[in-house]
């Protein structure tokens, strides 16, 4: 599959979908992801570490992703299995669907927090690997949030609120896994079986077409892969779904997790798959914590602080990518307080310094640094140094690319002088991280 492969190859039948990456996506810098489902009721996982940092032989039985709960509780001997027995009496997973009421859900309130971050797009999960759909998807026989649990079209509510807030709307869909439809054993190792049959491929195809027809998403964000039986072109193939998507949404984009088919941009996840982070058509995604779904076990030590989120965003943009940062909503529909604090802090920083990230490109002629922490970006009329220090700051500029007399923080000029191939800037009173902008000489 293209997911995480360094040099994937498009099959001939999918080359017709190649196109330039739309500028709206390239310059968005930040998107907000939401994982929400029946797994938000138990909201339980071991906070073991980031994807890519936990040994693969330990990952599945000690999965930090709460949204994988339906799989992890079926692994004998796993802590999640023990937790399900002890706390929930070994109840069937679908009991959580009926217990999930979303009683405090207000899509406009969620999107107000999202929009305040400066994000350009918003993507909720429409069907995760547990197979529960957050709209009345065809063929689900009532196993969806309209018939059960919240008894709402949650995707419709998100779509309306997203566009009212002025953001682009995307949809996440798990094409590679559906533990309910396929009824396969739990995944315990990389390479364990996933649904590849024609029945599932056509079922998933009908879901994606329905999402396109109802909500006209700007982004199709697939996950894991696509069933092999649905790859070859045909009336219910992935190729047909892409044809439908681009006909309805000509400026739409798709990611690279649709099996061996097509993508407009590559994706990495936490610190896994980072080899794809090259050029200007990639996106790094992660939760504010170690999980995408809400996890009661996560504390502040597991979550990005606002400053850490700022540094991550700036780092990603300085290398040419977008950041897709995830919220794990509580079952009630509320944003967990610690996650809200991170989002609000990120938004506050972007309100002052967002000119250094939104619509920005890498400035590759100037050298980034981790000690002291320094990243460079460029917009049409300025070069921006984002630093995590104050006092007298030394910004290396050995080739004299910047006009030190134009140094400013926001609209306020700051004292700067050129000394020995560098610019010394006085930012003694600035809160960090801080973006210092210059007019370029070259």
Pair (429, 280) in one structural domain: no
Pair (283, 429) in one structural domain: no
CATH number at residue 385: 2.60.40.1180
Pair (336, 394) in one structural domain: no
CATH number at residue 266: 3.20.20.80
Pair (392, 344) in one structural domain: no
Q: Is the pLDDT at 440 greater than 90, yes or no?
A: yes
Asked if residue 55 belongs to a domain, the reply is: yes
321, 356, 391 — which closes off a domain? 356
How many CB atoms are located within 10 Å of the residue 438 CB?
A: 22
Asked if residue 314 belongs to a domain, the reply is: yes
Using 50, 70 and 90 to split pLDDT, how confident is the model at 183?
Answer: confident
Tell me the per-residue pLDDT of 153-177, one tens digit each, with 9 for 90 and over.
Answer: 999 999 999 999 999 999 999 999 9
Q: Is the pLDDT at 1 greater than 70, yes or no?
A: no
Pair (44, 193) in one structural domain: yes
pLDDT for the residue 428: 79
Asked if residue 31 belongs to a domain, the reply is: yes
334, 356, 378 — which closes off a domain? 356
Rg (CA), the chain: 23
Pair (238, 373) in one structural domain: no
Pair (134, 233) in one structural domain: yes
Q: By C-alpha distance, which of 39, 148, 53 is closest to 93?
A: 39
Percent of the chain residues past pLDDT 70, beyond the cut? 99
Q: Is the pLDDT at 431 greater than 80, yes or no?
A: no
Pair (82, 140) in one structural domain: yes
pLDDT for the residue 2: 65
Asked if residue 48 belongs to a domain, the reply is: yes
pLDDT for the residue 57: 96
Q: Please compute the mean of the pLDDT values over residues 223-237 and round it to a whole number.
A: 97
The answer to whether 64 touches 295, Cβ cutoff 8 Å, is yes
Asked if residue 116 belongs to a domain, the reply is: yes
Pair (227, 274) in one structural domain: yes
Owning domain of residue 370: 363-440
Write a three-state SS string for 260-311: CCCCCCEEEECCECHHHCCCCCEEEEEECCCCCCCCCCCCHHHCCCHHHHHH
Pair (28, 172) in one structural domain: yes
User: Which residues are within 8 A (CB) of 155 and not within 5 positions of it... i.e. 6 or more apart?
Assistant: 124, 126, 134, 135, 171, 211, 214, 215
Asked if residue 4 belongs to a domain, the reply is: no
Pair (262, 406) in one structural domain: no
Pair (21, 129) in one structural domain: yes
- Token code pair at residue 201: 């491929």
Tell me the per-residue pLDDT of 231-275, one tens digit each, with 9 for 90 and over.
Answer: 999 999 999 999 999 999 999 999 999 999 999 999 999 999 999
Q: By C-alpha distance, which of 349, 296, 285, 358 is closest to 323?
A: 285
What number of CA atoms fall less than 13 Å from residue 47's CA on the CB side? 16
Using 50, 70 and 90 to split pLDDT, how confident is the model at 181?
Answer: very high
Give the Cα separation of 396 and 376 in Å (integer).
Answer: 11
How many CB atoms are located within 10 Å of the residue 381 CB?
A: 9
Tell me the per-residue pLDDT of 277-321, one tens digit each, with 9 for 90 and over.
Answer: 999 999 999 999 999 999 999 999 999 999 999 999 999 999 999
Q: Please compute the mean of the pLDDT values over residues 42-54 and round it to a whole number.
A: 97
Asked if residue 38 belongs to a domain, the reply is: yes
Asked if residue 6 belongs to a domain, the reply is: no
Q: Please compute the mean of the pLDDT values over residues 76-96 and round it to a whole number.
A: 98
Number of structural domains in the chain: 2
CA 254-147-121 angle, to 5 degrees, is: 25
Q: Is the pLDDT at 7 greater than 90, yes or no?
A: no
311, 341, 356 — which closes off a domain? 356
């Amino acid at each position: 599959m293209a997911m995480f492969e360094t040099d994937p190859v498009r099959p001939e039948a999918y080359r017709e979908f190649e196109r330039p990456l739309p500028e709206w996506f390239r310059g968005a810098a930040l998107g907000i992801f939401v994982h929400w489902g029946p797994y938000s009721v138990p909201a339980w996982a071991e906070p073991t570490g980031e994807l890519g940092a936990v040994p693969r032989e330990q990952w599945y039985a000690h999965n930090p992703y709460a949204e994988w709960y339906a799989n992890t509780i079926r692994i004998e001997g796993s802590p999640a299995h023990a937790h399900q027995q002890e706390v929930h009496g070994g109840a069937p997973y679908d009991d959580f669907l009926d217990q999930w009421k979303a009683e405090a859900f207000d899509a406009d309130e969620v999107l107000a927090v999202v929009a305040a971050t400066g994000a350009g797009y918003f993507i909720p999960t429409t069907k995760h690997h547990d197979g529960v759909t957050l709209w009345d998807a065809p063929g689900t026989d009532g196993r969806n949030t309209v018939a059960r649990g919240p008894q709402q079209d949650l995707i419709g509510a998100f779509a309306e609120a997203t566009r009212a807030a002025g953001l682009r709307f995307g949809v996440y869909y798990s094409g590679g896994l559906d533990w309910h439809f396929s009824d396969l054993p739990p995944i315990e190792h990389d390479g364990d079986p996933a649904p590849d049959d024609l029945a599932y491929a056509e079922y998933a195809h009908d879901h994606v077409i329905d999402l396109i027809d109802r909500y006209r998403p700007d982004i199709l964000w697939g996950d894991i892969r696509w069933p092999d039986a649905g790859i070859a072109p045909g009336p219910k193939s992935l190729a047909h779904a892409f044809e439908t998507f681009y006909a309805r949404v000509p400026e739409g984009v798709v990611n690279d997790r649709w099996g061996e088919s097509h993508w407009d941009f590559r994706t990495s996840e936490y610190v896994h798959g980072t080899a794809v982070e090259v050029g200007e058509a990639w996106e790094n995604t992660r939760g504010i914590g170690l999980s995408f779904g809400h996890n009661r076990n996560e504390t502040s030590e597991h979550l990005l602080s606002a400053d850490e989120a700022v540094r991550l965003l700036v780092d990603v943009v300085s290398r040419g990518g977008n950041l897709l940062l995830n919220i794990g909503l509580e079952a009630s529909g509320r944003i967990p307080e610690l996650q809200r604090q991170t989002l609000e802090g990120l938004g506050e920083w972007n309100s002052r310094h967002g000119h250094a990230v939104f619509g920005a490109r890498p400035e590759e002629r100037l050298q980034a640094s981790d000690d002291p922490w320094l990243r460079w970006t460029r917009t049409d009329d300025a070069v921006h140094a984002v630093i995590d220090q104050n006092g007298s700051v030394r910004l290396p500029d050995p080739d004299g690319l910047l006009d030190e007399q134009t140094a400013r923080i926001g609209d306020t000029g700051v004292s700067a002088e050129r000394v020995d191939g560098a610019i010394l800037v006085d930012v003694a009173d600035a809160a960090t991280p801080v973006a210092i902008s210059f007019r370029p000489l070259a």
